[in-house]
Chain A
Amino acid sequence: MTTAHDHGGDVRLTGISKTYGSFTAVHPLDLTVPQGSFFALLGASGCGKTTTLRMIAGLEEPSTGTVRLGEQDVTALPPYKRPVNTVFQSYALFPHLDIFENVAFGLRRRGIKSVKKQVGEMLDLVQLGEQARRKPHQLSGGQQQRVAVARALINHPKVLLLDEPLGALDLKLRRRMQLELKRIQTEVGITFVHVTHDQEEAMTMADTVAVMNGGRVEQQGTPADLYENPRTTFVANFLGTSNFIGAEVAEVSGDDVILKAGGGKLTLPRARCPAPVTTGGTVLAGVRPEKISLTHADDAGTIPSGRNRITGRITDSSFIGVSTQYVVDSPACEAFEVYAQNIERDSRLVPGADVVLHWNAAHTFGLDAEQSPFAGTTGPAGADKAEEDA
């Protein structure tokens, strides 16, 4: 197995872009996927993530830029000459071949004669040894998915590309396959590049996530980093939910920035601000719903000092088991979302109740106020299929 110092399996995209006529699917982008990592390209349909993946596979010719695998420039190589394999969306299993032959396909094309042992082992790895002589249409969705993975992995590619591989599965099966894929990746140590529109899936599986929007990479990092320190409202909204307060910078004192918002004051760590903060400028102060505590207005005195606080009135609440989700109307922000763990439920917290929202000031993050606070909120599963049509 290769070590972390071996860069033979690095995927390096340099200035790569794709245009169809006047439509730009992917703006010139640079991206490095380190050897052995599980990398996710996350974004809504039509954001250019699949096009990027297909350019790595060689199924799409980039308009500009180069694709390198380790030291090798593969930009000009057709897909069948690249040491890269793909798990296709809806699997693309050959309907006229049985499972064994589907898995053996790549080996046979490379002129390997004795495939029986390898295919057997690979089918055992994905727990389909029994089904070897069945046709793809006789298998369930989850089984087909595993055949698709086995068919690609058996070739020991330098990089395995997965194009929404779990999109056709139901929720439970999807969760199981996520763990399964993660296990396989750890076991074989191959670089995985995974395209998905499901933020939860990307965060569960990937070491590194690149969030794409409108043909550009908005931000790249570990799931926790992306979640805690989003740099754009799009990332903040696409990964989980965020509340935004439009605020004016009152003063900068030491490591903190003091903001004026809705008649109150908020503290924001300077380190979590977009680069230049000037007094009198505006900023979007963001906070995740689960970081917020909810206290009934009558008990406002019990709130420890030093916390950011905002007053408001509950307009809606929904009980979803592990937590209760509240919508709070406040002068600072119209629809504040608050997720409260169901540990001890305060029976007074019902729609109409006056409440104080408060949270640890360190959990506040600042974003450039020039952007829309609603970017990326329209649900990840858009109906726009422009990307696949490419």
Chain B
Amino acid sequence: MAARSPLSPFAAFFRLLRRNVVVLAGLGTLGYLLLPNVVVTVFSFNKPKGRFNYSWQEFSTDAWKDPCGVADMCGSLSLSLQIAFWATLGATVLGTMIAFALVRYRFRARGAVNSLIFLPMAMPEVVMAASLLTLFLNMGAQLGFWTVLIAHIMFCLSFVVTAVKARVMSMDPRLEQAAQDLYAGPAQTFLRVTLPIAAPGIAAGALLAFALSFDDFIITNFNAGSTVTFPMFVWGSAQRGTPVQINVIGTAMFLIAVLLVVTGMLVGKRRARKSR
């Protein structure tokens, strides 16, 4: 490029802008994504006048001092955590088994199995929710904890399969052969080689399942009967009145998650440095 006369500050600014237009647009999107979390956090220190916490009144730490001060909220939170835990466990075990079968074995009806895994992810939640409710009503099942758990395992399953499958697929089959060659029987091979190497994929699947289950509203709303999970509590309060404590919980979860991930990243980085 030919040398140019010095640019005017205005032109220089514009050139900088043009070169970084992607960065600016990306950061704008990031802002859009994070804005609601900022609002949730700020309004967790609000002291609303009416029943709804939608407009700023005055600063207060009341809600933070008494996060469980709202009737039934912490109960619903604990229920959600329980359901998420068991749904994660169930979906991870079943999904990991399917993923291994899909990657490691040849069998008939592979195409049908693949479609059955894919369809729940391509189905609007409300359709699954409604049809599952139809089934439960037809069977005369008592709606509650168990129906919610069944539903959650069902829709988390496909996501676990996808996550684990990706990991197992990228795994060198020679590693298992090497284990067999080195006197490890099938059980030993699985426990000592296959499982440890597949672990990150399984962990990713489990994490995803936990997040999906914990935050699920639509399917739960249809199949919970009178059982109230945390998202259902929030939904209900949107009609009746939103306590500030909801924002406290939302903020706390956000902070805990970011803290855990950042710590994990730092630990991983330090470990990598140490072993170098």
Contact = CB atoms under 8 A, between A and B. Distances in A.
- A–B contact (CB under 8 angstroms): yes
Interface in A66-94: 78-81, 84-86, 88-90, 92-94
Interface string B263-276: 00000000000011
B184 A109 contact: yes
Contacts of A80: 179-185, 188-189
Q: How large is the interface on A (under 10, 10 to 19, 20 to 34, 35 or more residues)?
A: 20 to 34
Interface in B113-158: none
Given A59-B177, A138-B275, A138-B276, A85 B172 contact: no
A58 B175 CA distance: 15
Interface in B88-133: none
A351 interface: no
Contacts of A106: 182-183
B203 to A, nearest CB: 13
B174 interface: yes
Interface residues on B, range: 20 to 34
A151 B182 contact: yes
Contact of A134 (B178, B188, B275): B275
B178 A88 contact: yes
B74 interface: no
A155 interface: yes
Given A88-B177, A92-B178, A105 B275 contact: no
Interface string A89-117: 11011111000000001100110000000
Interface of B: 172, 174-175, 177-185, 188-189, 192-193, 196-197, 199, 275-276
Interface of A: 57-59, 78-81, 84-86, 88-90, 92-96, 105-106, 109-110, 133-135, 138, 151-152, 155
29 contacts: A58-B181, A59-B177, A78-B180, A80-B179, A80-B182, A80-B183, A80-B185, A81-B183, A84-B181, A85-B181, A86-B177, A86-B178, A90-B172, A92-B174, A92-B175, A92-B178, A94-B193, A95-B175, A95-B197, A96-B196, A96-B199, A106-B183, A109-B182, A109-B183, A133-B275, A135-B275, A151-B182, A152-B181, A155-B183
Given A59-B180, A90-B172, A92-B172, 16 more contacts: A57-B181, A79-B177, A80-B183, A80-B184, A81-B183, A86-B181, A88-B174, A88-B181, A89-B174, A90-B174, A96-B199, A105-B184, A109-B179, A109-B182, A133-B275, A152-B181
